[in-house]
Amino acid sequence: MTLAFLDIDRSEFLDRYWGKRPLLLRQAIAPDRLALSPEELAGLACEEDIESRLIMHTNGEWTLRHGPFDESDFATLPDRDWTLLVQDVDKYLPEVADLLDAFDFIPDWRLDDIMISYAVDGGGVGPHTDSYDVFLVQAQGRRRWRLSDHVFTDDDLLPDCQLRVLRDFPVNEEWLLEPGDVLYLPPHVAHWGIAEGECMTWSVGMRGPTDLELAAAWLEHLAQTARPQLGDHVGSDTDLPTRLQPRDLATARRLIGGIVPDDIPDFRRWLAAWLTEPKPGFEIEPPDTPPAFDGSALRRHPWARFTLVELEAGRLALCSQGECLVFDSTHAQTLETLCRQRRFGQGSLPADAAPVVETLLARGWLVADD
């Protein structure tokens, strides 16, 4: 699946828009690739282990209910002004996870989840801001998005409300999204999506650690390990989205006040592992009997996010689920392929990839693509 950036390429998008300004992409994704039905989404919302919410706006009041839900909950809902949201749908449905291939120019560790919402006419979650980058993919129906360039604070929130809804919302831009349209929003841009008729929206959310989260986690790591040895840095900035880049490391050091020396291999490895730690409840259990590497079709486990980090002596670490597996650089091409793709057709991985693939199968990071 590809994401059409119309008149701009991916580099221009990252330079001009990523983290800076909104961008509307018309007909960026074929709607038939976004075929999940409202009934399927409601079924997920009835599952005990899947996070879901129901948001209603009635007589000027916002109400929030958390799942799991029962079929009878949906039967009693009004005809308008409500929306159902289900988190982490990509981790349960491989066909939804396939959408992430459209964003393969963004480091895998940044991809948080795909939240899918179904709304009836007038439904939405109210005007609000998010602290992360998000791509809002219109799958079915139409949704009107209103944006504000005002800088909001907590003082602007509705008092005594279960949701972080903004009290006043001066609109300076407005777009009506049709199926296949994608709206990119950087962090803290205030937005308000309102369904015009029934509609479904897939929200591809990105994550990035704050300075406090990063510093606390690194200091906790230091407290639990011996003081690391300094070593020589090996590698260069290849600008590959599969790898943890020197600029990422420099940003991490800056965020925590530069308390990490320029070149500690342990910090690189720790950071890559920490950035790929799963959400609670999405830890992958190794299979009792892993599938054999016999040329059959494989896919990445939908709960796994991959990133590569260069270590000393030319070695590479493949990190996922908060853990790093170290391999010799002779496996670099295999590791790049595994990080760039999520599905591997029959016979698409060469026989010399066996040491890497068998290790990942044993971890449960790769599974049979039945």
Residue 252's pLDDT is 66
**Sequence-separated (6 or more) residues with CB below 8 Å from residue 305:** 108, 109, 111, 276, 278, 320
For residues 37 and 96, the answer to whether their CB atoms sit within 8 Å is no
CATH number for the domain that contains residue 100:
2.60.120.650
Q: Which has more confidence, 4 or 14? A: 14
Q: Is residue 19 part of a domain?
A: yes
Q: What is the dihedral sign for C-alpha 300, 33, 203, 43?
A: negative
Compute the average pLDDT of residues 271-293.
89
- pTM greater than 0.85 (yes/no): no
Pair (275, 313) in one structural domain: yes
Q: Which of 174, 206, 238 is the last residue of a domain?
A: 206
pLDDT, average across residues 88-107: 91
Mean pLDDT of 125-151: 94
pLDDT for 228 equals 39
Query: Do 250 and 180 share a domain, yes or no?
Result: no
Please, which pLDDT band fits residue 236 given cuts at 50, 70 and 90?
very low
Whether residues 311 and 201 share a domain: the answer is no
For residues 191 and 240, membership in a common domain is answered with no
pLDDT at 235: 35
Note the pLDDT of residue 164: 92
What pLDDT is attached to residue 238?
A: 38
Q: How confident is the model at residue 96 (pLDDT cuts 50, 70, 90)?
A: very high
20 pLDDT higher than 60: yes
Q: Tell me if residue 313 falls in helix, strand or coil.
A: helix
Residues 124 and 249 in one domain: no
What's the mean pLDDT when you consider all of the chain? 85
Q: What pLDDT score does 366 carry? A: 94
Whether residues 118 and 198 share a domain: the answer is: yes
| Statement: residue 241 has pLDDT above 70 | no
Taking residues 77-100, report their average pLDDT: 95
Band of pLDDT at residue 269, cut at 50, 70 and 90: confident
Give residue-wise pLDDT tens across range 302-353: 999 999 988 877 789 999 999 999 999 889 989 999 998 899 988 788 878 8
Q: Which DSSP state fits 81?
A: S
| CATH number of the domain that residue 303 is part of | 3.40.366.30
Nearest to 331 by CA among 302, 312, 351, 345: 351
Portion of the chain with pLDDT greater than 70, in percent: 84
Report pLDDT for 207: 80
pLDDT given at position 63: 94
CA distances from 309 to 106, 233, 255, 285, 298 (A): 15, 12, 19, 23, 23
Question: What pLDDT does residue 140 have?
Answer: 97
Q: Using one digit for the tens of pLDDT, what is the confidence trace for 192-224?
A: 999 999 999 999 998 877 666 776 776 677 666
Residue-number span of the structural domain to which 322 is assigned: 229-368
Residues 165 and 247 in one domain: no
163 belongs to a structural domain:
yes
